[in-house]
Amino acid sequence: MISEINTERFPIKLWVSDSDTETLRQAKNLANLPFIHKHVALMPDAHVGFGMPIGGVAATIDVIIPNAVGVDIGCGMCAQKTNLTHIDTARLKTIVQRINSTIPQGHTWHKKPQDKNLMPKDIPQHTIVQQEFNDALHQLGTLGSGNHFIEIQKGNDGHIWIMVHSGSRNLGKKVADYYNRLAIKKNQKFLNQNNRYLAHLYTDSKEGREYIDEMNFCVAFALANRKLMMERILGIMEKEFPNFEPLQFINIAHNFAALETHFGKHVWVHRKGATRARKDELGIIPGSQGAPSYIVRGLGNPESFESCSHGAGRKLGRNEAIRTLDLKTEVEYLEKLGIIHSIRSQRDLEEAAGSYKDISEVMKNQSDLVEPIIELHPLAVVKG
């Protein structure tokens, strides 16, 4: 831990060294909620979010906060180790082209619904999942936009890895928006200028139980989404390499709430852009498309509620990056590294390497949370 703030109702423990005013304001709003357990934690990639900072961790007693999970419920990473040790540039370009033609990106979905058997089995009989189920069949196996990506990487273990970052697509957003509106209606007397984006539901209420059911379905759907994309990427690789073989598979989510035991009490741990890091648990921390990613082993630090960062974290907002970064400079940087990248226009600068924090600094700041075990360098990047 780097520092601690003790000016609010509950302490704020920080692993971030460069918090801006707005991120800290959001953390303080959290720290003044009466149902917070022990303290609020800010991971080293923390930056401003909606209601709660991205990179924030908060444990609550008997309540759940939809905006402390976020709109992309279940968003996370999966990483696939392969038996390959080298891919030449020509083959990389072919693989990227095939990924682009196979996996819908951005706001596009599959034209035909995907196999229902690929969906999570426990389907809630509540409002939103039932209402959106057919659309979700078209969203299954699609990448999305923003910071979601597919990367082919070379590890310092000598192996080629494939990494996918995506979430629950429009289904998760519909669930999040519906229950946040419901929470606002239920909390009119409680909400004020500071906490108006942190409306909660009691976990023993009908609405709270239904949100938890639908949230958990979205977490499972997000995993099914990543698995289907990975399966199709592996199919592309198998056609290109006759002796191709997938090895270790790792998956971890970073937008969810879970009932856990911390400091002797059962609490709902909200991780919004934060990864669980129990002792010896394997996790994934990506850099930018011009920086390394890491497979890590959790150290189980209780002060972070056994959590760590979910990535490098933004240092520039999307609009600020588009407005201030130089397209030529960012492209030249990636091309000097030999990375097949996705920066082609001024608009793409929102996801340029220059819009993210230094991943080496982020990793140093959480040396008491995780241990890096494999460093992965990007070879080719696909973004929606």
pTM of the shown model? 0.95
| Residue range 204-230: mean pLDDT, rounded | 97
Sequence length of the chain is: 384
Of 39, 310, 341, 377, the active-site residue reads 310
State the amino acid at position 249 in one-letter form. F
Q: How confident is the model over 247-290, as pLDDT tens digits? A: 999 999 999 999 999 999 999 999 999 999 999 999 999 999 99
- In which band, very low, low, confident or very high, does the pLDDT at 125 lie, cut at 50, 70 and 90? confident
Quote the percentage of the chain above a pLDDT of 90. 89
**Dist. CA 384–CA 367, nearest whole Å:** 32
| Residue range 354-377: mean pLDDT, rounded | 96
Let me know: does 52 contact 257? Beta carbons within 8 Å: no
Architecture of domain 3-313+362-383: Alpha-Beta Complex (3.90)
Report the relative pairing of strands 12-14 and 36-47 from DSSP bridges. Answer: parallel
The structural domains of the chain, with segments of one domain joined by +, span 3-313+362-383, 316-355
Q: How confident is the model over 68-117, as pLDDT tens digits? A: 999 999 999 999 999 999 999 999 999 999 999 999 999 999 999 999 99
Task: Using the predicted structure, report yes or no on whether residue 24 has a pLDDT greater than 80.
Answer: yes
Q: Where are the beta strands (DSSP E) in the chain?
A: 3-5, 12-14, 36-47, 54-60, 63-64, 76-82, 149-155, 160-166, 201-202, 246-253, 255-262, 265-272, 274-276, 282-285, 293-298, 307-309, 370-383
What DSSP character marks residue 302?
G
Q: How confident is the model over 158-192, as pLDDT tens digits? A: 999 999 999 999 999 999 999 999 999 998 888 88
Annotation says 310 is catalytic: yes
Let me know: does 296 contact 338? Beta carbons within 8 Å: no
**Dist. CA 243–CA 235, nearest whole Å:** 12
Looking at residue 139, its pLDDT comes to 97
- In which band, very low, low, confident or very high, does the pLDDT at 234 lie, cut at 50, 70 and 90? very high
| Residue range 306-333: mean pLDDT, rounded | 93
Looking at residue 1, its pLDDT comes to 87
Encode 267-294 in three state secondary structure: EEEEEECEEECCCCCEEEECCCCCCCEE
| Residue range 137-160: mean pLDDT, rounded | 96
| Residue range 194-198: mean pLDDT, rounded | 87
Looking at residue 191, its pLDDT comes to 84
Task: Using the predicted structure, report yes or no on whether residue 19 has a pLDDT greater than 90.
Answer: no
Backbone angles phi, psi at 317, to 5 degrees: -65, 165
